[in-house]
Amino acid sequence: MSLFAVVDPVMQGLLLGGMYALFAIGLSLSFGIMRMVNIAHGDIIVLAAYVTLVVVETLAVNPFVAMIVVVPSLAAFGYVLQRVLLNPVLGDDILPPLLVTFGLSVIIQNLLLAVFSADPMGIHADAVQTASIGLGGGLAVGVLPLIIFASAVAVVAGLELLFAFTGLGRAFRATSDNQTVAQLMGIDNRHLYAVATALALAISAIAGSFLALRTTFVPTLGPSKLLVAFEAIIVGGMGSLWGTLAGAMLLGVAQSIGFRYNSGSGILAGHFVFLAILLVRPQGLFARARRS
């Protein structure tokens, strides 16, 4: 076995992890701050991919330029979604928001089907999709996966800075600890939740735009993205964004190696790693101890 056969899939897998991390971060934020599991998370990413497609085609712009429109649009949608639909069902019971977001998932999928049909679509616009950098010895990395990975690292670093050093970040952490007492400190939890969802959807929009650039997509792709997001969060450990990135990279490597040996079993290899981690270390690799 040549060195190439080992290094190449690992490297491609690590970069794929950047994409998976972007899928996962929004979900992790909603759960961390609001204790809310957004079942429609994957569908929102796919929705963002379609919105990117529409913006690219109607405005005839580069997909990266399109993100300047797509990201704020999804953030605004997130704010309104939380205030109108999700805040009223948030409470001690975790079931109502689960059901509402499940319904939202079905609605988004069917709307996309109605508007765009079930045919796979993609964006074929940019040289960046095929560009790569040779590393010698036959190894090469794609420019796009590299950009996606760098974006994931930047998003995680940016969020960690936000949580550590800003008033908004403190308010997020305080609300996550105890939302009743946070209200007694003057924090408007309904507004704060809406800001959190806006942030989550902005990141999902970045993920969706990159998804659209990377591959073709269909309206029913959402649930599989949700699953990857869940697995990355659980492998990495709840409450740690760097952990989520690491978990996503581990899943990416597992899938990439799996694909190399049998093109049908790559996804399955990822699930096996997820199950193995659940068995050996159910709290995840980098779980931040949650003090109650």
Give the angle 221-227-228 at the CA atoms, nearest 5°. Answer: 95
Residue 117: name the closest of 38, 210, 53, 74 by CA: 53
Report the residue number, 58 or 292, with the smaller CB distance to other proteins: 292
CA distances from 147 to 123, 179, 206, 242 (A): 17, 37, 12, 18
- Residue 260: CB atoms within 10 A of its CB come to 18
CB of residue 177 vs other proteins: minimum separation in angstroms? 4
Report the residue number, 4 or 165, with the smaller CB distance to other proteins: 165
Residue 48: name the closest of 89, 76, 87 by CA: 76
Q: Are 112 and 47 in contact (CB under 8 A)?
A: yes
Q: What's the rounded Cα separation, in Å, for the pair 193 and 45?
A: 19
- Interface residues toward other proteins, by CB under 8 A: 167, 170-171, 173-174, 176-178, 180-189, 291-292
CB of residue 237 vs other proteins: minimum separation in angstroms? 15
- Give me the residue label for tokens 């960046």: 128
Q: What's the rounded Cα separation, in Å, for the pair 13 and 231?
A: 15
CB of residue 179 vs other proteins: minimum separation in angstroms? 11
Report the residue number, 165 or 272, with the smaller CB distance to other proteins: 165
CB of residue 245 vs other proteins: minimum separation in angstroms? 20
Contacts of 87 (CB under 8 A, 6+ apart): 190, 193, 194
CB of residue 203 vs other proteins: minimum separation in angstroms? 21
Report the residue number, 57 or 177, with the smaller CB distance to other proteins: 177
CB of residue 292 vs other proteins: minimum separation in angstroms? 7
Report the residue number, 173 or 271, with the smaller CB distance to other proteins: 173
Report the residue number, 102 or 242, with the smaller CB distance to other proteins: 242
| SS3 (DSSP) at 96 | helix
